[in-house]
Amino acid sequence: MDQNMIPLFVAIPLGIAFIIPMVSRKLKWAPDVFANLAMLALVTIAFMTLGRMDTIIYSMGGWKTPLGIDLRLDGLSRMMLIVINVVGLAATMFSVQYMRLYTSKLRYYTLFLFMVAGMNGVVLTGDMFNLFVFMEIAAIASYALVGFGCEHEELEASFKYMVLGSVASALVLIGIAFTYALTGTLNMAHVATVLAGAKMNTPLIFVLALFITGFGLKAALVPFHAWLPDAHPSAPAPISAMLSGVLIKAIGVYVIARLLFNVFGMSPQMLVILRTLGLISMVAGALLSIGQWDMKRLFAYSSISQVGYIILGLGIPTDLTYLGVIGALYHLMNHSVFKSLLFLNSGAVEYATGTRDLKKLGGLNKQMPVTGATSLVGSMSIAGIPPFNGFWSKLIIVIACVQAGYYGLALAAVLVSILTLAILLKVQKNAFFESAQAAMGRIQRAPVLMAAAMVLLAVLCLAMAFIVITGLDTPMIVRPAADALINGPFTLPPAGAG
Amino acid sequence: MIYSLCFVLIAIGIYGAVTKKNVVKIVISIAIMEYGINLLLILIGYRAGGNAPIMEKGMEKGVGLAEFIATSVDPLPQALVLTSIVISLGVLALMVAICIRLYERYGTFDITEMRRLKG
């Protein structure tokens, strides 16, 4: 892994997004092929980053750190890059046949690749304003994609999402302005150095409040979650998978973790805030999702609940073993896989039957064996049934709660997990197991590429459980990511390095 | 003092975005909020009576350089504001486009009548 390959994570999707509209007026097959090849290339180089485990810093344009913008590849960025691009590949594979329901594949793939470029940029960048720019690229593309169908509900959801997203971005920008006023720099390592040893004073608390509110809105933590259950179900299914699976984590949870642990330095008060937000999101998300009959809306509420687990894990005080952070990051990875899988399942159901109302569905297991089986895998993973991956990450979070002495939180985590099981059993029973209803009519199976994307994610659900079995001390991807957070505020690279 | 005016602008924007019923007014409120933030950014780099941060001949080193550093305003926030204006232009264009589509679908700009999503 050469350091000069780092910009490719942003350059490939941006470049292909530019090429697709140019060539696909004549070549009707071009958008599908180009987008899938781009995602395949991104997955390949994402896994190539695992070759070197140290922190790699790339200075954009050759300008060194104080003047230019850094791209910073460390353990956490590696994990996020792999998650984003693997889920992205599954989503593009699924889109090839699914997006025939919609009009313009050309614009769809262009926006999709913009979103991927934005997210890759967010997890790589080492500069706070640059982070804002990449975040806006991803966010604007996602606003447009939520409203892609241009029907009543989709436009309404898109507008709601856009207003709240703009407010969130505005808060983040005010936070960035104050950070610059306080420290005189926006490079994350420089900010961390300037703030090292500084007391928690009022302006700093104000900045942190702005960032937590802004990125909490993007991550849909519970007091700020109102847009998510509208926006995620309204998007086309592969986009729902990307939004719920990756976007809320890449531009929400990841940034909160990065800023709090690596830039501003973690303090006990912040941990309390994270635990509280996590607990509320976890419980409220699960309770709200029980009553839903729209399959995708149910999954969207359950996303809020699962993000609550991640934030709760991050908020557990760190000791020598820092199990809470490990569990949180592991759960982040797992959730992005099984939640994307479930959204793709709902897309396949909608493609075949034209509805996603659980009251109208039933008995799909006979006609759609692949969708049924993979959705069972996804449901069991999210509900935390061993041996699937969701069980292990939730177990680690619960153990961390108990170790730190938060028995109430541990109990809440277990109870919400049982609640999640009930919710997902409702989906399974109503959509896949009950005898077919007369209205269902003739249903064809999911087309081959859609099935392949779902099988890929289902296999990952099982395979990622082995990260635990290979020994908790050396999980390949999760441990370095947690180390990157635990090592505390960034330090400046020695002069002349890089 | 002048900082608080920026916050007044931002607060007006947020107030409008929260309370207005007309989608176009919401869009305008968000634009006002973004202007407030841009002004705030500019103010952070401002220095009363400062010069434009353009280096001229004879300022490369020595007294000229020291004087240049002491008197010029901070150029970085200005660069940030340019970027943020472009971003907010993109968001604004998309918002207005969605507003037009909403009007085509619902025949109204009133947000209280667009309530198909609930739960």
For B71-95, write each residue's pLDDT tens digit.
788 888 888 999 999 999 999 999 9
For residue A471, is pLDDT > 70? no
Question: Is pLDDT at A468 greater than 90 in this prediction?
Answer: no
Do the Cβ atoms of A143 and A158 come closer than 8 Å?
yes
Taking an 8 Å cut-off on Cβ atoms, the answer to whether B119 and A297 are in contact is yes
Q: Nearest-CA neighbor of A277 among A249, A253, A302?
A: A253
- List the beta bridge partners of residue A59: A70
Tens-digit pLDDT profile for residues A245-300: 999 999 999 999 999 998 888 888 889 999 999 999 999 999 999 888 899 999 99
Which A residues, 118 through 177, put their C-beta within 8 Å of a C-beta on chain B? Answer: 129, 132-133, 136, 140, 143-144, 147, 150-153, 155-160, 162-163, 166-167, 169-170, 173-174, 176-177
How much of chain A exceeds pLDDT 70, in percent?
94
Distances from the Cα of A325 to the Cα of A48, A415, A417, angstroms: 25, 21, 19
CA distance A207 to A263: 12
Residue A237 makes CB contacts below 8 A (sequence gap 6+) with A94, A98, A296, A343, A344, A346, A347, A348, A350, A351
Evaluate if residue A55 carries a pLDDT over 70: yes
Q: Are the beta carbons of A286 and A302 closer than 8 angstroms?
A: yes
If pLDDT is split at 50, 70 and 90, which confidence band does A39 have? very high
Length of chain B: 119
- A212 within 8 A of B78, measured Cβ to Cβ: no
The torsion angle over the Cα atoms of residues A368, A370, A372 and A373, rounded to 10 degrees, is 150
Token duo for residue A104: 């313009």
Asked if pLDDT for residue A498 goes beyond 60, the answer is no
DSSP A434: S
Question: pLDDT, tens digit, for every residue of A377-419?
Answer: 999 999 988 888 889 899 999 999 998 889 999 999 999 999 9
Name every residue whose Cβ is closer than 8 Å to that of residue B46 and which is 6 or more positions away in sequence.
B73, B74
Those residues whose C-beta lies under 8 Å from the C-beta of residue A1, and which sit 6 or more positions away, are A48, A49, A50, A51, A52, A56
**What proportion of chain B, given as a percentage, has pLDDT over 70?**
97
Contact list, B14 vs chain A (CB under 8 Å): 167
- The counts of H helices and E strands in chain B are 4, 0
Q: What's the confidence (pLDDT) of residue A435?
A: 67
Q: CB of A75 within 8 A of CB of A50?
A: no
Average pLDDT over residues A68-81: 89
What's the 3-state SS for A270-297?
A: HHHHHHHHHHHHHHHHHHHHHCCCEHHH
The pLDDT value recorded for residue B25 is 94
What per-residue confidence (pLDDT) applies to A497? Answer: 40
Q: Given a cut of 70, is residue A426 above it in pLDDT?
A: yes
The alpha-carbon gap from A454 to the nearest alpha carbon of chain B, in Å, equals 28
> How many CB atoms are located within 10 Å of the residue B5 CB?
13
Q: Which residue has better confidence, A352 or B49? A: A352
> H or E element: which one contains B9?
helix B2-19
CA distances from A193 to A71, A73, A189, A313, A436 (A): 18, 19, 6, 26, 63
Report yes or no: A238 and A347 within 8 Å, Cβ to Cβ.
yes
Instruction: Report the distance separating Cα A231 and Cα A243, nearest Å.
Output: 9
Task: Point out the residue among A129, A144, A162 whose CB comes nearest to the CB of B80.
Answer: A129
- The average pLDDT across B21-27 equals 93
pLDDT of residue A493: 60
Mean residue pLDDT of chain B comes to 86
SS (H, E, C) A36-69: HHHHHHHHHHHHHHHHCCCCEEEEHHHCCCCCCC
pLDDT (0 to 100) of residue A278 = 93
Contact yes or no for B102 and A291 at CB 8 A: no
CA distance A353 to chain B (A): 21
Inter-chain residue contact A155 with B77, CB threshold 8 Å: no
pLDDT tens digits, residue range A310-365?
Answer: 999 999 987 767 888 989 999 999 999 999 999 999 999 988 888 888 888 877 87
Whether ipTM > 0.95 holds is no
Note the pLDDT tens digit of each residue in A126-168. 899 999 999 999 999 999 999 998 888 899 999 999 999 999 9
Which one of A128, A151, A174 makes the best mutation probe of the B interface by having the most chain B beta carbons within 10 Å?
Answer: A174
Give the per-residue pLDDT at B68: 78
Share of chain A above pLDDT 90, in %: 53
Interface of B with A (CB under 8 A): 10, 13-14, 17, 23, 26, 30, 33-34, 37, 40-41, 44, 76-77, 80, 83-84, 87, 90-91, 94-95, 98-99, 101-102, 105-106, 114, 116-117, 119
* A170–B106 CB contact, under 8 Å: no
Mutation for B interface: A127, A158, A166, most B CBs within 10 A: A166
In whole angstroms, how far apart are CA A373 and each of A342, A350, A423, A451? 11, 16, 17, 11
| Structure token pair of residue A34 | 């180009």
8 Å CB contact between A278 and A131: no
Say what the pLDDT of residue A199 is.
Answer: 72
Predicted local confidence at residue A475, as pLDDT = 57
Dihedral sign computed on CA atoms, order A89, A33, A237, A255: positive
How confident is the model at residue A146, as a pLDDT?
A: 94
C-alpha closest to that of B23 among B102, B104, B89? B102
- Asked whether the predicted pLDDT for residue B96 surpasses 90, the reply is yes
Mean pLDDT of chain A: 88
Residue A492 pLDDT greater than 50, yes or no:
yes
Query: In DSSP terms, which residues pair with A57 in a beta bridge?
Result: A72
Q: Which DSSP helix (H) or strand (E) runs through A372?
A: helix A369-383
Instruction: Supply the pLDDT for residue A144.
Output: 94
Q: Residue B98: its chain A contacts at CB < 8 A?
A: 143, 147, 155, 158-159, 162
**Considering just the CA atoms, what is the radius of gyration of chain B in Å?**
21
Higher pLDDT, residue A90 or A100: A90
**pLDDT value of residue A496:** 43
Q: How many CA atoms lie within 13 A of A247 on its CB side?
A: 35
